[in-house]
Structure 1
Amino acid sequence: MPKNIKYYRKAFTHKSSVTSSDKHKQYNERLEFLGDCIIDAIIADYLFQKYPNESEGFLTKMKSKIVNRKSLNQIAVQLHLDSYLQSNIANVKENDALGNAFEALIGAMYLDKGFDFTKQYFISKIIERFFDISFLEANDTNYKSQLLEIVQKKKQTIVFDSEGVEPGPENSSQFVSIIKIDNVAVATAKASTKKEAEQRASKIVIESMNIH
């Protein structure tokens, strides 16, 4: 049971639900920041212990496969966090707000229960439930990294251009990534983060090359 329920109330309060008359009401962005750091620490420790003989590069790749915007959003949906989140977002399941709320929840849990409890919860209830670690180990889903390796082998030049932002769903930011190989634009993709936009654009290029 929670010791301090106020942390969890704050974790499920999106800033879109806070009006000018609620200027003293706190929303979840600070807890989101904290939760993001705690998740990173938990995953880093988990992988460090699980793979004692692997390189830093391997651990970094595995971490990025587990912790990314897409996976956090999917976990939040499967945990039905939309039932708890206070927001004025119409299609919250299609927005990063749920993934952010999940990070805020982990931040709240850390403040309420401490690191050891939060780590045990995350490993047993999140990693072991939602991730097939053996599958992730055998499959590379970092499309940008794959594309960079391909281009380097072919001795080509590659540039990832970010063309600022465009309004997205519920006025959220949408980053546009354009990939140029040898100064020729070969793919364009949009996402709520620059990193995800680059991954999507890279996937388009790899699939067009029929590389699996």
Structure 2
Amino acid sequence: MIVQKKENLLFSIDSLKKILGFYPKNLTLLKKVFVYDFINNTTINSDNDYLDFHRLEFLGDAVLNSIISHFLCEQLPEKKEGDLTQVRSKIVCRKNLNKISKKLLFENILLNHKFYYISDNILGNTLEALIGFIYLELGYVGCKRFVYDKILHYYVDLSKIQKEIFSYKVWILEWSQKNKFFIKFETYKEDKNQISIKNKHYYLSKLTLINYGIKTIGKGLSKKKSEENAAKAAYIIMKKEDNQTL
């Protein structure tokens, strides 16, 4: 995602009004939704603004989870708690919120002048902060209407998202349990003598699917990521070998 220099970092209230569906009253609080210096991934205002941003983000995250839970109970009445939790996790995962924020927020609000690259995660965080702001402006009912009308109905395809794999590790553990296969993960840090890119040490994970004849290796900057990559590699092999089993 790209944005302009911070001296041009101004959002259009008129453009924002079109997205929100109402004219915001508390403009002072609204500006705290946009406190980041997108060039350096830091804040351009005071420490109080920075604190307020994260408080709005915290509030928006909680409200968003509540509204989406309500939405899923309405749309998927046959699903159990565990299934609903998985679908909600896919909707509110960082990657998905970043995508929605790109489409809904910055590309429509920020002025189009001199551009720089910024972290996608900041986009998702800002979307959560904006939802927190909307909740304070309109209350739960008004915020729910915004999330339904502007996010869920436009950017969430339940039939598609239910088929997506949120975590390959979770998937393969559930699959092995269901089909009575034994699975083993071995994870360790890369040898200290093998310096990686930018002097970062990686984790290596070995996955063995006993009785199925599959062994894979995953690599990542964290234990979680390396195990996820090993599980994804196993999934790809299994899918090629026997689609019907999956």
5+ residue gaps in structure 2? 1-22, 191-196, 210-214
Is the contact made by 2:68 and 2:88 (CA closer than 8 Å) also made in structure 1?
yes
TM superposition score normalised by structure 1? 0.74
- 1:156 and 2:165 are equivalent in the alignment: no
- 1:26 and 2:57 are equivalent in the alignment: no
TM-aligned CA deviation for residue 103 of structure 1: 0.7
- 1:205 and 2:227 are equivalent in the alignment: no
Count of residues in correspondence between the two structures: 195
Partners of 1:177 and 1:46 in 2: CA distance:
38
Structure-2 residue corresponding to 1:171: none
Change (3 A) 1:148 1:73: same
Structure-1 residue corresponding to 2:117: 91
Change (3 A) 1:43 1:200: farther
Change (3 A) 1:116 1:161: farther
Partners of 1:134 and 1:161 in 2: CA distance:
38
TM-aligned CA deviation for residue 96 of structure 1: 0.6
Partners of 1:157 and 1:179 in 2: CA distance:
10
Structure-1 residue corresponding to 2:207: 181
- More displaced, 22-31 or 95-104? 22-31
Structure-2 residue corresponding to 1:126: 151
Letter in 1 for 2:125: N
- Matched residues, percent identical? 31
Structure-2 residue corresponding to 1:35: 60
- 1:4 and 2:26 are equivalent in the alignment: yes
Letter in 1 for 2:206: K
Q: Deviations over 1:115-163 (max 9, x none)?
A: 11111110111011011112223x1322232121234332122367799
TM superposition score normalised by structure 2? 0.65
- Of 76, 80, 100, the match for 2:101: 76
TM-aligned CA deviation for residue 200 of structure 1: 5.2
5+ residue gaps in structure 1? 169-173
Is the contact made by 1:190 and 1:200 (CA closer than 8 Å) also made in structure 2?
no
Letter in 1 for 2:182: K
Partners of 2:188 and 2:90 in 1: CA distance:
23
